[in-house]
Structure 1
Amino acid sequence: MFSGVKVDRDAFGKFAEGFARFMGTARFLAYMTAFVIVWITCNVVGVFGLKWDPYPFILLNLFFSTQASYAAPLILLAQNRQEARDRVSLDADRAQAAQSRADMDFLAREIASLRMSVGDLATRDYIRSELRQELRAILADLESGGEHEDERVEAI
């Protein structure tokens, strides 16, 4: 019957979200309250002698039922769209967290590698202390007349 009718899903979804958003406002409640008060007043007092919906207000009840039957699916549609957006956002957050974790793991390995490399390097203080020891040994050899020089050359 309606096979030729094409509905833009995104436009209809935006409409549903706007409708659901509007129904959750104080403005909507104020409009509905004013509408009900005017409806009841007009049907109890009578406007131009007409009372189109007498006391049990069956027509008003029918309007509310119709409104509810359309509002519920539109609200659910809006919630489903929000859930889909939240899911996409959550997936993006998870991917970002995984990438951050991989980056942190890589950096931790690099820092550990640098620390191990630095541990193998001679520091300035170490080199100075070794040079002082060698200088003392050379001075001691010079003072003793070079007796230990042959032993030192062999040790090297």
Structure 2
Amino acid sequence: MAERLDTPRVRRGFFARYRSEHSFDETFGKFSESFATFMGTPKFIMYMTAFVIIWIAVNLIGIYGYSFDPYPFILLNLAFSTQASYAAPLILLAQNRQEQRDRVLAENDRQRAERNLADTEFLTREIASLRLAMQDVATRDFVRSELRDLLSDLVEEIKADERGEGPSESH
């Protein structure tokens, strides 16, 4: 049964699906992180340096004798100011998102450390209780030595049987 008639239809358009899968805050946050990451690369500095050199060269030499931003380069300063006014909040947003991730990771690490400590304390108590219980029980070394003694006695009996002496009465 593909669709029920007693339930309303849900719009399945692209934008409805996009809104349901991605929130605007998350999308803008990812954009700000990628922007802040790009601004911190040597590639960005090289691009900006090339842009400024071309801007100044074009305006000093002029295109067909016309320069659109004469010497004090006011338009270039305005562009840099606009870029800085947008870059600062985007970088702060990226830092805040990283701080939130770090806080979650630190909380997870703390919880994991608490679980490890609780497990270690439990195992320590278990080992201590086993040691107390082992005072009345034969240890592994004791059992091995007893088995070795029995084995050597059996070997002696077998050798005695082969020689025809019969079983020894050492027990």
Answer yes or no: is 1:38 the counterpart of 2:54: yes
Which residue of 2 is the match for residue 119 of structure 1?
Answer: 135
Superposed CA deviations along residues 48-79 of structure 1, whole A, max 9, x for unmatched, are 22211111111101100000000000000000
1:99 aligns with 2:107: no
Q: Which residue of 1 aligns with 2:95?
A: 79
Equivalent position SS for 1:102 = helix
Map 1:3-152 → 2, pairs under 5 A: 8-122=24-138, 124=142
d(CA) in 2 for partners of 1:19 and 1:48?
A: 36
* Equivalent residues, number: 121
Give CA-to-partner distance per residue, 1:4-62, whole Å, 9 cap, x none.
Answer: xx971000000000000000001100100000000000010001222111111111011
Q: Distance in 1 between matches of 2:136 and 2:129?
A: 11
What CA deviation, in whole Å up to 9, does each residue of 1:122-155 have, x standing for no partner? Answer: 5548xx8xxxxxxxxxxxxxxxxxxxxxxxxxxx
TM-score, L = length of structure 1: 0.73
SS at 1:120 equivalent: coil
Percent identical across equivalent pairs? 62
Q: Structure 1 residue 121: deviation in Å?
A: 2.3
Match of 1:153 in 2: none
Greater relative CO (CA pairs within 8 A, separation 6+): 1
Gaps of at least 5 residues in structure 1 are 1-5, 129-156
Tell me which stretches of 4 or more aligned residues in structure 1 moved more than 2 Å.
120-125
Q: Which has the larger radius of gyration?
A: 1
CA distance in 1, matches of 2:138, 2:28: 72
What is the rounded CA distance, in whole Å, between the counterparts of 1:122 and 1:39 in structure 2?
A: 90
Structure-2-length-normalised TM-score = 0.67
